[in-house]
Amino acid sequence: MKLLIVESPAKAKTISKYLEGEYTVKASIGHIRDLPKSNKKAIDIEGGFIPHYEIAKGKDKVVAELTSYADKANEVVLATDPDREGEAIAWHIAETLGLKKAKRIVFHEITKEAVNEAMKHPRNIDENLRRAQEARRVLDRLVGYDLSGIIWKKVRYGLSAGRVQSPALRILMEREREIRAFKPETFWVITADTKTPRDEKIPLVASVEPREKKEVDRILATGNKGPWVVQGAEETEAKRSPRPPFITSTLQQSASTRLGFSPARTMGIAQKLYEGGHITYMRTDSTNLSSMAIGQIASVVEKKFGKKLFTPRQFKTKSKNAQEAHEAIRPTHFLKENAGTTPEQKKLYELVWKRTVSSQMADAKVLRTKLVVEVAGGEAPNFTANGQRVISPGWLFADPAARGEDVELPKVTAGEKLRLIEIRSEEKQTEPPPRYSEAGLIKELEKRGIGRPSTYASIMKTLEDRGYTEKVNKSLVPTDTGDVVSSFLEDNFAEYISDGFTAEMEDELDDIASGKRTYEKTLGDFYKPFLKDIKAKEKVAKATDLGKADPKFRCPKCGGDMIIKLGRGGKFLSCERFPECDGALTILGVEIKKEEPLGLDPKTSLPVTLLEGRFGPYIQLGVKSKENPKPRRASVPRGMNPADITLEKALTYLTLPRELGVHPTSGKPIVASVGRFGPYVMHDGDFRSLKKDDVYTIELPRALEILSEPKKARFGRKKAV
């Protein structure tokens, strides 16, 4: 018997069809070994940073099954993914099953041609690649364990820090402080509607934005007086070149802006497309395309858009470690314009197809027009109009969504007079720099050399899962907890969460992968000074300035006094017994208020009070007493500023959980409420998250519709944490 081992059952199923029964194909279902949770058992630092692995939780049956097949096989092939993570999984399988002569193959697309070609070129496990992944795993564990430990002692038990997540949080906080420090200024935008002698409309905008109302009134008066004369009309032909094929980061960014997918969701969908044989491997820094792929694109372009529009291109890959994945993310067969089994997969595949095909097409040609109009002989600022229209679509034929809106201006000549229809002003205020979206943060991390393709999605998810950020209208907003943690790290460990240090460590890990550096020396050079700094800062580091104990506030854990402290994110409370008490910190983020009721509930006449608890602000109906030991409570929605909560809003929050009615089949109730992972509807133990629906207003028919939909599984390969 011949055995071939991959990571996922879906991948195993696809490859089995191509090997036509010659091999038994089995899946390890991701990593089979991991570091134990206890750092003391996990890594032998003195012995040379030797990791001690153990079978991952729940993987005993998988290991037993693989062992039984391997014992019977006269040939074992390891076909895990073609990156460091895949190399590490292959090594762990070989070590655990005792495979001394296992062959290793790699392919970047799951097609019959690629798999059969890979089978002709087996190799040994690449020790440099798997060592680079091991170094990253050990390094992240050491940094996270030690930094998190000091945060537990100095800020609050249960918080965490990480080698890459903390620099990402710092970037978000730096932008947040810019926003807080921003002072808006008032300005006016002055626009005018005009017409040519041929009755063609031309909208104009003043070339200046006055800061004073007096100047605005003067411009309006001058404009009404006129005359309006075309001073210049310029037409410039320009080219728009296609963008490179997708790499991991640009796929995540485009899927976020065009499809509204989070990075984690994008990677899960892409994983399914890859395992189904529809696209090439989705973790890559390379923009290269193979000659075979370019040949297929040439055929598609010639047939669909015309031979003249095919323009072969090779794009420069920016990342120096792109040799690990030789191609960009592309379709495996370009004749398939549609692929995938779900609407999400089909949308993402279409995005990949359009991006790849358009990258090998001719430039688009656009005509840009700029009109400059003089007002009252120069007594007022000039007014301008800008237009653009595509005159030769080129690659935009393949990707029309990237075209933008054509704004065509009528033909006018210098000296021609325009007739004023209306001139008006609009008062506005300057705006602070925008917060990062997930796509924007990934782009920034890539620009600064922080993280690698396989880590971007997990960084976003970790920040949200830890409660350090939350999404508000697609923007990543640091929470008060995130503020306090980042501020503490910036004050005490700025070097280790700086751009330069983090990017340099990524480069050193790349050097291990290429054989330029050794595992033990790289970790030793970092860890000895790092540990020394940790021990020194443990004695002197202060997260906040201490205030006085206030008996009005009691620790929700032990009942002791809470001490008012001040952090960069605002005031918060800490138990006087901290760190012994793990009910240590209650973030307020607003001015501390006494427990005064917001008002009375009109139905019960009981007081409605906004309180601060261990897990954040909440609403309470009535007063806790012997007669009423468990008063009705409701959490304040994440992202809601406690200072903005009114009695009306508080009463709305207290409506949860809401019973919407009974299920027509089971007769059991359907409930809407908010839990640890956000709003949901629930029927008979079946929980469904509410993504777009409002938990406070959703009705029974909509809930039944959601419950009738197939329950979505979690996407993506389970990775070691």
CATH class of 136-181+437-540: mainly alpha
Three-state SS sequence of 238-297:
EEECCCCCECHHHHHHHHHHHHCCCHHHHHHHHHHHHHCCCEECCCCCCCCCCHHHHHHH
Sign (positive/negative) of CA torsion 677, 682, 685, 691? negative
Distances (CA, A) of 259 to 217, 263, 265, 339, 439: 44, 11, 11, 16, 12
Q: What is the mean pLDDT of each run of 10 residues along the chain (721 residues)?
A: 94 91 93 83 90 92 95 95 93 95 94 94 95 94 88 75 93 93 94 96 96 96 95 94 95 94 93 94 91 95 96 78 68 95 96 98 96 95 95 95 89 94 95 93 91 86 89 88 87 90 90 94 93 84 45 57 52 56 45 63 86 73 81 80 82 90 90 82 88 88 89 45 30
89 contacts 11 by C-beta, under 8 angstroms: no
Burial (0-12, 13-18, 19+ Cβ within 10 Å), 529: exposed
Check whether the bond before 312 is cis (ω within 30° of 0).
no
**Catalytic member of 18, 53, 274, 281:** 281
Element at 674 (helix H, strand E): strand 669-675
Dmax over CA atoms of the chain, in Å, equals 96
Report pLDDT for 595: 57
Residues found in the chain: 721
Identify the helix (H) or strand (E) that includes residue 416. Answer: none
Parse the chain into domains and list their residue ranges. Answer: 2-125, 136-181+437-540, 186-241+364-429, 248-358, 545-587, 597-653, 658-708
CATH class belonging to 248-358: mainly alpha
- Helix or strand or coil: residue 556? coil
Helices of type H across 518-603 = 519-540
Output the CA torsion 125→127→132→138 (10° steps): 100
Backbone angles phi, psi at 208, to 5 degrees: -125, 160
**CATH code that applies to domain 186-241+364-429:** 2.70.20.10
pLDDT score of 625: 76
Please give the class, per CATH, of domain 2-125.
alpha beta
Rounded CA separation 449/452 (Å): 8
The b/e string for 283-294 (b: 16+ C-beta within 10 A; e otherwise) is bbbbbbbeeebb
Separation of alpha carbons 512 and 124, rounded Å = 17
- Which candidate, 420, 422, 392, places its Cα nearest to that of 406? 392
For residue 71, with 0-12 CB atoms within 10 Å meaning exposed, 13-18 middle and 19 or more buried, which class applies? exposed
Q: Determine the distance from the C-alpha atom of residue 452 to the mean position of all C-alpha atoms in its chain, rounded to a whole number.
A: 13
CA-wise closest residue to 253 among 445, 36, 443, 484? 443
Q: Which residues pair with 54 in a beta bridge?
A: 34
468 in catalytic set: no
What phi and psi values does residue 107 have, to the nearest 5 degrees?
-145, 150
* 3-state DSSP assignment of residue 578: coil
CB 575 within 8 A of CB 584: yes
Element (H, E) at 422: strand 417-429
